[in-house]
Amino acid sequence: IGAVLQIKATDWEALQAEIAASSLKDAIAVVGRVNNTDQLSVNGLTLDRAELQQAWSEVSHQIQRLRDNVETADQEFSLITDNAHQGLIAKPTFDLNEPVEAPFINTRRPNMAILREQGVNGHIEMAAAFDKVGFNTVDVHMSDLLAGRVSLSDFEGLVTCGGFSYGDVMGAGGGWAKSVLFNTKLRDQFEQFFHREDTFSLGICNGCQMLSQLAPLIPGAEHWPRFHRNMSEVFEARSVNVRVEKSVSVLLDGMEGSILPIAVAHGEGRAVASESALAGLNAGNQVALRYVDSLGNPTQHYPLNPNGSPEAITGVTSKDGRATIMMPHPERTFRALQHSWKPEEWTEDGAWLRMFRNARKFIG
């Protein structure tokens, strides 16, 4: 049995004396040192890291080509030798720790509906994020609205959470949306909520798919896309980079230009819209988020763009900015420790907490 450990050179210097005096002295030795050349050097032989990694990944790549979309499989494999690709980056344009919600925290706790349906599973993180910035978060199941136990008239904020409503067997978010559209009582209630100027709404992942189909009830959402199966033809669960665009979204105020890591987890996240609809979204500053590469440029390259959405669009907002939908999961990274990777200086708050703070600032 053997193991290879990577430790700091200073730690090895401190350990050497102890190891030399122990029974492990003949079992532990330095076998290599990290370098900056992107090459592996062994006994005078120099090997390129990219070539070694491709050799290691070749079998998986061939299986992926048979199982998934050939084009996206090849795109992912090609990233190994792309020297411009630097992985995840984080470049916020704002102070992560600025409490923009602070002036309003001690005034009141506005009611926030954390809406879910059968199969939705992202409501706990969502409630935690909105609670942290001063909302009174209320777990609202669709059955509560249907039975009349809860009314949206009592809320100033509404978020449709991520997960798999009805196990996605009725189409991603489709069954959930139709339970509103085909019920006169609920349709009127949702429409009244969306038209109130003192409210905001947010749809994430499955909730994004659901709200996109409620666009006829939402003022200024006529250009919103629908969301279809990923180009890769598989469920995507990974961390990616997105760029916050210049938009009218009240939730992304002050975040424009930021490039941030974020989690995605979806099987049907590819935005689908006509060219005229996309043009309308761009013209109205309604595109909120785009997938970007490690240079910060919008990309169609898989898996940097995990679903193949046109123009790398993954978040949009209404014309007045009060309704925002996005495929990624900001609630999964509102704390620094939730990130799979983050800059070392991020210790408590994650960059995406700013979005929730903006919500509290908007409500006032």
pLDDT digits (tens, 9 = 90+) for 28-81: 989 889 888 899 998 889 999 999 999 999 999 999 999 999 999 999 999 999
Q: Quick one: tokens of 98? A: 């600025």
pLDDT score recorded for residue 351? 97
Which of these is catalytic: 156, 236, 245, 331?
331
Per-chain mean pLDDT for the chain: 96
pLDDT score recorded for residue 191? 98
Give the mean pLDDT of 112-122: 96
DSSP secondary structure code for residue 335 in this structure: B
Which of these is catalytic: 223, 266, 329, 339?
329
Told to judge if 205 belongs to the known catalytic residues of this protein, a careful annotator would answer yes
Which of these is catalytic: 205, 208, 223, 245?
205
Told to judge if 329 belongs to the known catalytic residues of this protein, a careful annotator would answer yes
**CA neighbor of 145 nearest in space, from 200, 193, 186, 199:** 186
Chain segment 285-318, per-residue pLDDT in tens? 999 999 999 999 999 999 999 999 999 999 999 9
Compare 167 and 74 and report the one with higher pLDDT. 74
Q: Return the number of other C-beta atoms located less than 10 Å from residue 267's C-beta.
A: 18
Q: Which residues contact 164 (CB under 8 A, 6 or more apart)?
A: 119, 120, 121, 206
Compare 155 and 172 and report the one with higher pLDDT. 155
Q: Quick one: tokens of 345? A: 């200086």
Compare 57 and 169 and report the one with higher pLDDT. 57
Greatest alpha-carbon pair distance for the chain in Å reads 80
Q: Return the number of other C-beta atoms located less than 10 Å from residue 311's C-beta.
A: 16
Give the mean pLDDT of 137-166: 97
pLDDT score recorded for residue 168? 82
Q: Check pLDDT > 90 for residue 1.
A: no
What does each C-alpha distance from 79 to 19, 58, 72, 134 come to in angstroms? 41, 13, 11, 42
Told to judge if 85 belongs to the known catalytic residues of this protein, a careful annotator would answer no
What does each C-alpha distance from 236 to 78, 93, 303, 307, 339 come to in angstroms? 18, 28, 9, 8, 17
Q: Check pLDDT > 90 for residue 171.
A: no
Q: Check pLDDT > 90 for residue 359.
A: yes
Of the pLDDT bands very low, low, confident and very high (cuts 50, 70, 90), residue 236 is very high
Give the whole-angstrom CA distance, residue 9 versus residue 13.
Answer: 6
pLDDT score recorded for residue 167? 86
Q: Contact 229/272 with Cβ under 8 angstroms?
A: no
Q: Check pLDDT > 90 for residue 120.
A: yes
Q: Check pLDDT > 90 for residue 225.
A: yes
Q: Contact 66/74 with Cβ under 8 angstroms?
A: no
Q: Check pLDDT > 90 for residue 118.
A: yes
